[in-house]
Amino acid sequence: MDFSRARLAFESPRLTLRIMEDRDATEEYAGWLNDPEVNRYLATKSATIKELQDYIQKKDLQADALFFGVYLKSNGAHIGTVKLEPIEPAQKRATIAVMIGNKMHWGKGYAAEAMKLLMDWCFNELKFDEVNLGVIAKNAAAIRAYEKLGFVETKREIAYVRYGDELHDHVLMAVKKRS
């Protein structure tokens, strides 16, 4: 299954997810990735518009990835991103990652809503058995949110990720398709 150049879109009561395009590489989006509060638990610590455009194009051409913008249905505002990568049809699983970059929209359940849309698609349309993710152990709020979605810890890689001068544990989590 090749997802390169896919033009999928999903809607929930409050959100629209659509494949990211060059035009989505804005100053606002770059600003999220350049904000230490937003990028605290991200591998990316800074970005230019050109780097965002290059990343969006790379993901668009990648056969095992889908990279979506998260938009409010009420006004079309771009508030974050959600990605499936890798998508592994032979293993019936995908890895998900989400970022709500616009801090005005933190704590409102948008990340969970976006993830649920893609998880439901993976389970119901692609007939996958599992969706997984990785998170820094120190990001307790994200872990709690993921647990509410049904994710459970499957593995912990001790002192696996370095951010600045600190080493952090990397927590791998998964949710299985409910029968």
Residues 84-95: tens digit of each pLDDT: 999 999 999 999
Helices 49-61 and 27-34 pack at an angle, to 10 degrees, of: 100
Task: Spell out, as residue ranges, where the chain has pLDDT lower than 70.
Answer: 179
Residue 7 CA, distance from chain mean position: 17
Domains of the chain: 9-131 (3.40.630.30)
d(CA 171, CA 165): 19
Q: Do 12 and 116 meet the contact criterion of CB atoms below 8 Å apart?
A: yes
- State residue 179's pLDDT score: 67
Rounded to two decimals, what is the model's pTM? 0.93
The token pair that represents 125 in the structure block: 């349309």
